[in-house]
Amino acid sequence: MRLLNIFNMAKDYLLLGIILVIFISIVYFLIIKIMRKKSRKISISKFIVGALLLCYGVVVLGVTMLDRHSSEQAATSLHLFYSYKTAWNSFSKTEWRNIILNICMFIPLGFLLPLFSDKFKRWWKTYLAGFVATLCIELLQLITHRGLFELDDLLNNFCGATIGYGIIMLVMAIFQKKDRSNTSIRRLLYYQFPLLILIVSFSTIFIKYNRQEYGNLSDNYIVKVNMSNVELRLNTELEEKETTAFVYKLPIADKEETLKYAKKFYSKIGQEVDESKNDIYDETAIYYTRDGSHSLWIDFVGLTLNYSDYDHMMDQGKEGCSLDDIRVALKEYDIEIPKTVDFKDEGNGNYNITANMYLEGNKLINGTLSCFYSNENKLKSISNKIRTYEKYKECKIISEKEAYNKLREGKFKLPYEYDNLHTIYIESVELSYSLDSKGFYQPVYDFKGKINGEEGNIIIPAMKK
């Protein structure tokens, strides 16, 4: 989810919170007037802070509870730092943003509570309130099956509350009118420890990542699989000798490069990009023509694309085309097809072209292109996922035997569909490749066989550390 979507969602619930504040205020003052009771006057500042707290609570509940669909079963993640390890392995902007937003979401709570009541100026009361608040939300998610009960959420939200408390106590110390000599500098510094730890931790993570040569593999395991009750069988021979393999590199484009590509692509068919409609995501850029009749989705990694021509969506497909016919049609869009590919006519104008780990000099070409070719000799849709990797470096890799030992120890990423693992039968192993977070195509071992009686595979990273 993009930040814009999150802010729009929060804005909707903020409006609901404001309406609720107005309603409660009216009811409160009407009751006082009807009962003709003299009540202690509420200061304007406390009223404002209370209103902010109420609006904040509505936004948090809305985002964490109301905006989520209910699932059939309760979902839990009781492994501490699981989300951090997931974010590290994929190094996805979305994953890191979710973690940071979970922390930031509770900063207002720690900030507002000491302003609302002097009782919360004691650190342990605000810390406790922050922990209880996030625990209640997680338990509600667990009970209602909305969202995930996650230890990392408890940690992140609690951390946010402590940071908010530290910030407001520092602000109050700076702007207090009383003698500042009574303010303990040491205590204020202690209050900033959560923020300092957060800054140091994230700085260390991102500096380490930027300094390492290769990216991270999402195929890396996060927690070890419990193999104590798993029947593991090996029905193939394993090579025990370590060897070498090449690492390949995939080009990664930026926003300007994808825009340049889109302009060139559309110029081939006499169209222009309408830059006012550009839609940029973390991994993809979307470009439309001025009349809105064409769309082009371009991935930053590898410049793979999805193209649609809406003017020809209702055209009949042209059947019986050869590979050369489709080559010529694709060339009009400046798309070159490798020499050695598998070609398949799916019928009704749908065609698939597959390059299966094809080596061409220093290039490794892999992936599939699918397209729809109409009777009007127009390509109404293209999904080009054929990637061309450049040879980067030869590296040492572990042996098949070492990789199997990691599998036996449970050091692999278990596919999500296998919750209750009881059998793994390995029939074959081959050296394959997996794309890392920096665009490198790293060698991995692909163990194929049956998992719980169904065809499946397990990936073990092969590069020697």
Rg (CA), the chain: 29
Convert the pLDDT of each residue in 106-119 to its tens digit: 999 999 999 999 99
Q: From CA 143, how far away is CA 154, in angstroms rounded?
A: 16
- Residue 179 clears pLDDT 60, i.e. is over it: no
Q: Judge if 52 and 200 occupy the same domain.
A: yes
- Considering the domain boundaries, does residue 216 fall inside one? no
Q: Which residues have CB under 8 Å from 149's CB, separation 6+? A: 74, 75, 76, 77, 138, 139, 141, 142
Residues 310 and 363 in one domain: yes
How many CA within 13 A on the CB side of residue 221? 17
132 falls within a domain: yes
pLDDT tens digits for range 368-387: 999 999 998 889 999 999 99
Question: Are 144 and 264 in the same domain?
Answer: no
Residues 6+ apart with CB under 8 A from 379: 307, 309, 329, 330, 332, 333, 371, 372, 373
Residues of the chain by 3-state class (helix, strand, coil), percent to 5: 45, 25, 30
Most confident of 136-145, 171-180, 435-444: 435-444
0.75 exceeded by the pTM? Answer: yes
Asked if residue 237 and residue 348 are part of one domain, the reply reads no
Task: Determine, yes or no, domain membership for 217.
Answer: no
Q: Which of 55-69, 113-127, 333-347, 401-415 is predicted with the least confidence, judged by mean pLDDT?
A: 55-69
Query: Dihedral sign, CA of 315, 319, 323, 325?
Result: negative
pLDDT digits (tens, 9 = 90+) for 38-68: 556 677 888 889 889 998 998 898 888 877 7
Inside any domain, residue 218: no
Decide: helix, strand or coil at residue 140: helix
End-to-end CA distance of the chain: 34
Same domain, 89 and 123: yes
Decide if 364 is inside a domain. Answer: yes
Closest CA to 118 of 57, 60, 43: 43
The domain containing residue 153 runs over which residues? 3-211
Q: What share of the chain in percent tops pLDDT 90?
A: 72
Q: Report which of residues 76 and 194 the model is more confident about.
A: 194
Q: Are residues 285 and 419 in the same domain?
A: no
Whether 440 and 365 share a structural domain: no
- Judged against a pLDDT cut of 80, whether residue 195 lies above it is answered with yes
327 within 8 A of 321, measured Cβ to Cβ: no
**What domain count does the chain have?**
3
Of the three residues 391, 411, 437, the one that is the final residue of a domain is 391
pLDDT band with cut points at 50, 70 and 90 for residue 95: very high
- The pLDDT tens digits of the residues spanning 128-152 come to 999 999 999 999 999 988 888 999 9
* Residues 413 and 372 both lie in one domain: no
Mean pLDDT rounded to a whole number for the chain: 90
* 405 and 432 co-located in one domain: yes
Q: Is 219 part of a structural domain of the chain?
A: no
User: What is the predicted pLDDT for the residue at 170?
Assistant: 93
The last residue of one of the domains, among 357, 391, 425, is 391
267 within a domain of the structure (yes/no): yes
Q: Tell me which of 371, 391, 411 is where a domain ends.
A: 391
Residues 206 and 63 in one domain: yes
184 plus 36 within the same structural domain? yes
Confidence of residue 26 (pLDDT cuts 50, 70, 90): confident
Residues 60 and 165 in one domain: yes
